[in-house]
Amino acid sequence: MTNPHKNSSSDLNLRSELDINIKEYFVKLKRRWLPALAVFAFTIGTTFLLTGFLEKTYTSEGKILFRKNNPNSLLDLQKNANQFDSILNTQTPLSTERLRMISEPVLQETIDQLKLVNADGEPLKAIELKQKLSVEIVGGTDVISIEYRDRDPIISSKVVNTLMDVYIKEHVRSNKSATTSADSFITDSIPKIENKLEGLESRLQSFYEENQVVDLQEEKKTLVSEIGTLNRQISSVGAELEGKKAQTGSLQNQLGLNLKQAIAANQLGNTPQVQSILEQLGATETELSQERQRFNDNHPTIASLEEKKQTLNSQLAKLISQYVGAKVSEGLLVGGNLKENQLEKFINLKIEELNLQTQLSSLYQYQQVYLNRAKEIPRLEKQEQSLLREVESARSTYNTLLGNKSDLNVLVNQQTGNAEIIESGPVPEEGSTGRIPLILLGVLMSLFLSNLTVILLEIQDRTIKTIPEIKQKFAYQVLGIVPLDTSQSDQGGIIVQREPDSFASEIYRMIQTNLKFLAVKRQPKVILMTSSVPGEGKSTVAANLAAAMAQLGRKVLLIDADLRKASQHDLWQINNTVGIKDIVTQKIPLEQVVTQPMGQLDVLTSGTIAPNPLALLDSSEMSDLVAAARKEYELVIIDAPPLAVTADVLTLSKLADGIVFVSRPGIVENESAQLAQETIANANLSQKVLGMIINGVKSNEFDRYSYHAKYSKNYFSSALKNSHSQTATA
């Protein structure tokens, strides 16, 4: 069973993806609406201009109905099995008749009767007439519609009616010829089919006689039953035989004789000679036992009896060896129950075992006979079915031909075809220029071209435009989204410093809070700010973030390490005569170089541009500078160059605890973003990236992706108004 919750979840995911794709499309359309509108307007205008050159044409329509009395269908039984039958039963396919209507002979006959000419006054050609003619099958019916377009309504009507008349005459002639041919064919075919049927029936009868078949189905059922019975009998006799073998084997081990020896021993024991020897041995044993009570073993009487016993035993052993050929115990030769229980029992059991073996062998022979017949059944069934199909096919063909013979006797004398004109082509009163379809086509083409324009422009523009695209490109945690109006203020300076109670300041405080609660082992104390390309506002974000942290009471140092294009001194409007260069090269103390534009915040500018900035940043003095800043400040923010511009970031990353990535929609391109990603991956800096700040987001997109934006703006607007009113009252 399918899981309904799983199906519901997949449907929701599909609907969500569809909604996102539609939204992305409308965002791109809104971005490129002007060129798309220009292409749409140009295409529509061109379409309306072209419709002004259209001339009015008149269309006349006639219809022909086809009845189901085509004699050619009577020949279908003689077609090969691999040929296609007619689409409509007992009728020539309408598609064939449609092609006959627009064939060159029919068209040429129509032209000749009406003496049609082209615009140059020359006789109209069949191909030219065909281009203005429309012959179609009316769906779900046996009707063909004929339409002809012309500037003259009378000519339009005449062409349709004349074409239908020419076709009907041709159709009647063709049907008469087909009827005669069908009658002749069936008359010749009946004797052949009759002879074929008799031959097939004779083959079927011979098959039954040769293979001794009465009813294969019943025989198959009987075989299955008999084989089952034989299997049960074989199993029963086999089990009984194993039991007899076990008994005879046990007795044979006790006796040490085979069947032949046992029979010989039994016969020998019944001879008078052996009986006499056995009686003498018995008497000697008795006498010897009595004499031993009187005399010792050395006495002559005892010795004489022992010698007599030995002589008798030798005679008995000789007889046993001569007739039996194996050692036999004397007790087996003595008459009585013991003899019956041993030799005769063994002989009887052995005879029963042989009988069971004979019976089992006979059962196996019967089983093999039945199995051989069962193996033949499928082959015989296949031959029988093949012969029956051939006989049935021939009989069906024969009976059908006999029935069709009578139908053809009627059709031979018929004077009409199976096509009938049910609607003549009237003289059309109103013409059409085809302007509406052309306009609709123009509208569709305009929509297509305008959308194609949007797609082509988007393909050429490689910049990342939206927040979702940036999130998809950079798989980093988003620490905050900064709107465009807070990062590019017309008043200049740092907005967090200038308007500490504004919504923009709160955004930067939220970013520093997100940094504070990052799931890392140790809170970063030195943070490196960078971006993919110049112009993404990383310096402005770094300055505002440093100001926001300083406002919360944390002692912060902001270092402008972009020695190639420094900007922090312009943002804070402070002096840049001394900076990092002076600390590294002249070893001036840090406290003599930094500037404090606001409480708790020190700014270390870049100083004058050095001839080799990378050498300064990679020096031990720079490492000492950052190490000293770690001890003196709670947080150090380094404003570094973009990743793809120089190798400075890779050098500075060794001094930092974490990297904050700044990205701005509409500025960074896919290629630059990919290069930045590869640079971070190749330098094994992925683990150091704390997150990403999306900067310079337009207000409409900011409101859409920052769920708290509207609420926060309204809240801070109300708070500022209350603050201003309280100040005015005071």
First to last CA, the chain: 75
Select the CATH number that applies to the domain covering 60-196+414-423 from these four: 3.30.70.1130, 3.30.1360.70, 3.10.50.30, 3.10.20.30.
Answer: 3.30.70.1130
Highest mean pLDDT among 239-243, 587-591, 637-641: 637-641
Question: Which pLDDT belongs to residue 725?
Answer: 44
Pairing of strands 143-150, 133-137: antiparallel
For the residues 528-545, what does the mean pLDDT come to?
91
For the residues 414-425, what does the mean pLDDT come to?
74
71-80, 299-308, 579-588, 718-727, range with the lowest pLDDT: 718-727
Q: Is the pLDDT score of 387 beyond 60?
A: yes
Question: Which pLDDT belongs to residue 638?
Answer: 95
Supply the pTM of this predicted model: 0.45
Q: What is the pLDDT of residues 318-346, one digit of tens each?
A: 777 766 666 666 556 654 444 455 777 77
Question: Which pLDDT belongs to residue 720?
Answer: 43
The more confidently predicted of residues 255 and 514 is: 514
Q: What is the pLDDT of residues 211-247, one digit of tens each?
A: 877 787 887 788 888 888 888 988 888 888 888 888 7
Sheet holding 595-598, edge to edge: 478-483, 689-697, 658-663, 526-531, 635-639, 556-560, 601-604, 595-598
Highest mean pLDDT among 282-291, 422-431, 508-517, 543-552: 543-552
Paired residues of 374 in beta bridges? none
Pairing of strands 143-150, 595-598: unpaired
The more confidently predicted of residues 572 and 314 is: 572
Is the Cβ–Cβ distance between 665 and 470 less than 8 Å?
yes
Q: What is the pLDDT of residues 156-196, one digit of tens each?
A: 888 889 988 888 888 777 777 767 777 777 778 888 888 88
Report residue 260's pLDDT band, with 50, 70 and 90 as the boundaries. confident
Question: Which pLDDT belongs to residue 90?
Answer: 43
Q: Is the pLDDT score of 131 beyond 70?
A: yes
Q: Is the pLDDT score of 482 beyond 60?
A: yes
Q: What is the pLDDT of residues 493-506, one digit of tens each?
A: 688 888 888 887 88
**Can you give the C-alpha Rg of the chain in angstroms?**
58
For the residues 477-484, what does the mean pLDDT come to?
88
Q: Is the pLDDT score of 203 beyond 70?
A: yes
Torsion sign over Cα 558, 559, 562, 564: positive
Question: Which pLDDT belongs to residue 83?
Answer: 37
Cα 684 to Cα 567: distance, rounded to the nearest angstrom = 28
SS3 state of residue 577: coil
Please state, rounded to an integer, the average pLDDT across all residues of the chain. 78
Question: Which pLDDT belongs to residue 539?
Answer: 92
78-82, 272-276, 453-457, range with the lowest pLDDT: 78-82
Name every residue whose Cβ is closer than 8 Å to that of residue 384 and which is 6 or more positions away in sequence.
Answer: 204, 207, 213, 216
Q: Is the pLDDT score of 528 beyond 70?
A: yes
For the residues 571-600, what does the mean pLDDT come to?
90
For the residues 623-627, what does the mean pLDDT come to?
93
Alpha helices in 412-537 (DSSP H): 435-460, 467-473, 484-487, 495-498, 503-516
Name every residue whose Cβ is closer than 8 Å to that of residue 678 and which is 6 or more positions away in sequence.
Answer: none
Residue from 460, 457, 488 nearest 698 by CA? 488
Q: Is the pLDDT score of 354 beyond 50?
A: yes
For residue 609, what is the DSSP state? P
Report residue 435's pLDDT band, with 50, 70 and 90 as the boundaries. low
For the residues 408-436, what does the mean pLDDT come to?
71
261-270, 279-288, 654-663, range with the lowest pLDDT: 261-270
User: Does the domain at residues 467-717 carry the CATH identifier 3.40.50.300?
Assistant: yes
Pairing of strands 58-66, 143-150: antiparallel
Over 239-252, what HEC string results? HHHHHHHHHHHHHH
For residue 364, what is the DSSP state? H
SS3 state of residue 604: strand
Cα 254 to Cα 408: distance, rounded to the nearest angstrom = 97
For the residues 411-429, what does the mean pLDDT come to?
74
Q: What is the pLDDT of residues 438-454, one digit of tens each?
A: 778 878 888 888 788 77
Contacts 24+ apart (CB under 8 A), 372-378: 373/223, 374/220, 374/223, 374/224, 374/227, 376/211, 377/216, 377/219, 377/220, 377/223
Q: Is the pLDDT score of 514 beyond 80?
A: yes
The more confidently predicted of residues 616 and 437 is: 616
Report residue 639's pLDDT band, with 50, 70 and 90 as the boundaries. very high
Report residue 560's pLDDT band, with 50, 70 and 90 as the boundaries. very high
Residue from 351, 347, 309, 348 nearest 330 by CA? 309
Q: Is the pLDDT score of 707 beyond 70?
A: no
Question: Which pLDDT belongs to residue 500?
Answer: 84
Q: What is the pLDDT of residues 31-61, one digit of tens each?
A: 667 787 888 888 888 877 776 666 677 888 8
SS3 state of residue 49: helix
Report residue 559's pLDDT band, with 50, 70 and 90 as the boundaries. very high
Q: Two tokens at 18? A: 């569809």
Q: Concatenated DSSP letters for 253-304?
A: HHH---HHHHHHHHHHHTSHHHHHHHHHHHHHHHHHHHHHTTS-TTSHHHHH
The more confidently predicted of residues 574 and 418 is: 574
Question: Which pLDDT belongs to residue 568?
Answer: 92
Angle, alpha carbons 706-708-711 (nearest 5°): 135
Paired residues of 661 in beta bridges? 530, 692
Residue from 563, 532, 543, 533 nearest 689 by CA? 532
For the residues 260-270, what does the mean pLDDT come to?
72
Angle, alpha carbons 186-192-198 (nearest 5°): 130
